[in-house]
Structure formats: structure tokens, C-alpha cells
Structure 1
């Protein structure tokens, strides 16, 4: 690992953490595109690495800040977390069997649809 890669990793972590804390985004929306652009990762490598980062409670302190202000529904979060595990397992099995070019297009299309809904929705 050279210094350029090391600095890129630090910036990706800081940006993903910052946007996670401020907007609730980080893994998909920030880390994956930056790993594709700055580190020349394949779509599979970026997705796998993003999931590995999130495997530990990296957002614990940010969630705690929201909890202190009364903005966390722990019951809902627990249900989503448990089902996220199942969905993540099934989704990863599918994703690793999809061609990288198609996977990248699916990923970009979903980001675009979500962005349009957020911008033009009520």
C-alpha cells in the first residue's frame, strides 16, 4: 500500500463517516463510488469492502448521538437489523454471480431512482 492509497482510504473513511453522521448515508452512497473511482476497485471489491467496514459497529457513536436526542426507535432498528442480515446474505449470493458491468449499472440505476424520488418526491 502506497501513501496515495493510504490517504484515499483515510478520506473515504472520513467522508463516509461524516455523511453517515449527518445524512444517514455512507456505505453504498459514499464508499462504493469512491472505491471505484479512487482505488480502481471492481464493483464486487467495492461492495465487499463496504460490507466488511460495516461488519463492526462503526456507526455506534453517531447512533448514540441520535439516541440521546430521542431520534432512535430501537424496536424498529432491531427488526431491520435482523432482517438485514438475512437480506444481506441472500443479496450477496446473488451479487457475486452477476457480471460486474451489469452489477455496476444496477447499482447506479438504483442510486439514480432514489435520488430522483428524494429530489422530486413529497
Structure 2
């Protein structure tokens, strides 16, 4: 690992953490695009690495700050977390069988649709 890669990794982590804490985004919106652009990862490598980062409780302290202010619904969070595990497993099985070029287009399309909905929605 050279210095450029190391600095890129630090910046990706810091930016993803910052945006996760401020906007609730990080993995797919920040880390994956930056790994594709800065580290020349394949779509599969970026997605897998992003999931590996989130495999440990990296957002615990950010979530705790929201909890302290009364902004966490634990019942909903547990249900989402359990079903996220199932969906994540099934989705990863599908994703690794899709060609990287197609997967990248699907990924970009989903981000675009969500962005348009967020900007134009109420």
C-alpha cells in the first residue's frame, strides 16, 4: 500500500463517517463511488468492502448521539436490522452473479432515482 492509497482510505473513511453522522449516508453514497474513482475498485470490490466496513459497529457513537436526543426508534431499528441481514445475504448472492458493468449501471440508476425523488419530492 502506497501513501496515495493510504491517504485515499483515510479520506474515504472520514468523509463516509462525517456524512453518515450528518445525513445518515455513507456506505453506498460515499464509500462506493470514492472506491471506484480513487482506488480503481471494481463495482463488486467496492460493494464488498463497503459492507465489510459496516460489519463492525462503526456507527455506534453516531447512533448514540441521536438516541440521547430521543431520535431513535429501537423497535423499528431492530426489525429493519434483522430483515437487513436477510436482504443483504440474498442481495449479495444475486449481485455477485451480475456482470460488473450492469451492476454499476443499476447502482447509478438507483442513486439517480433516489436523488431525483429527494430533490423533487415533498
1:100 maps to 100
2-structure distance, mates of 1:2, 1:90: 35
- Could you list the structure 1 runs, at least 4 aligned residues long, displaced by more than 4 angstroms after superposition: none
Q: How does 1:45-64 map to 2 (within 5 A)?
A: 45-64=45-64
Q: How high is the TM-score relative to the length of structure 2? A: 1.00
Q: CA deviation at 1:62?
A: 0.1
2-structure distance, mates of 1:30, 1:57: 18
CA RMSD of aligned residues (A): 0.2
2:74 maps to 74
**Paired residue secondary structure (1:64):** helix
1:31 maps to 31
**Paired residue secondary structure (1:72):** coil
Q: What is the CA deviation profile of residues 73-103 of structure 1, one whole-angstrom value per residue up to 9, with x for unaligned ones?
A: 0000000000000000000000000000000
Q: CA deviation at 1:29?
A: 0.2
Q: CA deviation at 1:6?
A: 0.2
Could you tell me which runs of 5 or more consecutive residues in structure 2 were left unpaired when the two chains were aligned: none
1-structure distance, mates of 2:15, 2:61: 16
1:5 maps to 5
2:85 maps to 85
Q: How many residues align?
A: 122
1-structure distance, mates of 2:5, 2:115: 29
2-structure distance, mates of 1:85, 1:3: 35
